[in-house]
Each structure stands twice: as structure tokens, then as C-alpha cells.
């Protein structure tokens, strides 16, 4: 190796590609910034997921409500509480006017995996009560835990 005056070995190493890279401090700074961004974005994202589950439950209740109305038009009455929502997909015993199934698939659970509650006659001024107890699965609550109903 020929050495020029004023050039040092450190200068040669800086120009060699296999000695370039990030320092540990630079990597740590980048990881902290990514962590801070994730801390800001994640709560907003998960809040949207909860809101979408509530919207899905409302849409399913509306769909079941319409299917129950179609059942009533065909049969002349709403399914009893004992027959439940299954009467929308399976013909009740001895019901000759049944024109179902009234749903394309089986009765869906609510977005949190629990069955919808169905009571006939309804106790809130309607012909029937149809509800989901929300994320917590218990009566009452607020936000995502609030009951979702057809009344």
C-alpha cells in the first residue's frame, strides 16, 4: 500500500464500504421514535375497532328485525320466546304457513360471540325485544358495554 502524505489509516477505513453502518445510539433513537408513534396510533386504531363492532351489532339487529317481520307476514305472528330466532331458519313444529328460511345463513351471534336475546311479547312497547348486551355481556353499561336494542 502506498501511503500519501497527510492520509491516515482512519481515512481509508471510512471509505471502505464494509465499515459503514449505524451506531447503537442511532438504532435506539429510531426504536424510541417508532415506539412513540405506535403509542399514539394504536389507541385510536383499537377505538375504531370497538366502534365498528357496535355498528355491526346494530346492522345485525336491523337485519334480524326485518326477518322477524317477514316471518310475521307469512305466519301471522312473531316467533314465541321458546321458538326464538331459530324459527327464522328452521320451521317450527306444526307451522304450515312458514315460508322460510328468512336468513341466508344461521342466526349470527353478536360481534362479541354471544347470542342475541329475543323476547316475545316485548316489554318496551313493541311486539318483541331483540338485544345484545354489548361487549361486557351484562345488562346496562356505557360505550362499547352499552346494550344494543331494537327499540
Q: What are the pLDDT digits (tens) for 7-58? A: 555 555 555 556 677 888 888 999 999 888 888 877 777 666 667 888 888 9
Model confidence at 2, pLDDT cuts 50, 70, 90, reads low
Q: What does the alpha-carbon distance between residue 67 and residue 95 come to, in Å, rounded to a whole number?
A: 17
Which range, 23-27, 115-119, 142-146, has the best average confidence (pLDDT)? 115-119
Q: What are the pLDDT digits (tens) for 51-95? A: 788 888 899 999 999 999 999 999 999 999 999 999 999 998 888
Q: What does the alpha-carbon distance between residue 87 and residue 102 come to, in Å, rounded to a whole number?
A: 9
C-alpha angle 114-148-85 in degrees, rounded to nearest 5? 50
Q: Residue range 106-129: average pLDDT?
A: 88
Model confidence at 99, pLDDT cuts 50, 70, 90, reads confident
- Does residue 85 contact residue 70 with C-beta atoms inside 8 Å? no
Q: Residue range 89-114: average pLDDT?
A: 89
Amino acid at each position: 500500500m502506498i501511503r500519501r502524505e497527510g492520509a491516515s489509516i482512519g481515512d481509508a477505513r471510512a471509505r471502505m464500504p464494509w465499515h459503514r453502518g449505524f451506531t447503537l445510539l442511532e438504532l435506539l433513537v429510531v426504536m424510541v421514535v417508532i415506539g412513540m408513534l405506535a403509542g399514539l396510533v394504536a389507541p385510536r386504531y383499537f377505538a375504531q375497532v370497538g366502534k365498528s363492532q357496535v355498528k355491526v351489532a346494530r346492522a345485525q339487529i336491523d337485519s334480524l328485525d326485518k326477518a322477524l317481520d317477514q316471518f310475521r307476514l307469512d305466519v301471522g305472528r312473531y316467533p314465541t320466546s321458546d321458538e326464538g330466532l331459530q324459527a327464522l331458519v328452521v320451521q317450527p313444529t306444526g307451522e304450515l304457513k312458514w315460508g322460510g328460511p328468512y336468513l341466508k345463513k344461521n342466526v349470527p351471534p353478536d360481534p362479541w360471540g354471544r347470542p342475541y336475546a329475543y323476547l316475545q311479547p316485548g316489554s318496551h312497547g313493541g311486539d318483541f325485544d331483540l338485544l345484545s348486551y354489548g361487549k361486557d355481556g351484562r345488562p346496562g353499561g356505557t360505550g362499547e358495554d352499552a346494550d344494543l336494542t331494537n327499540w
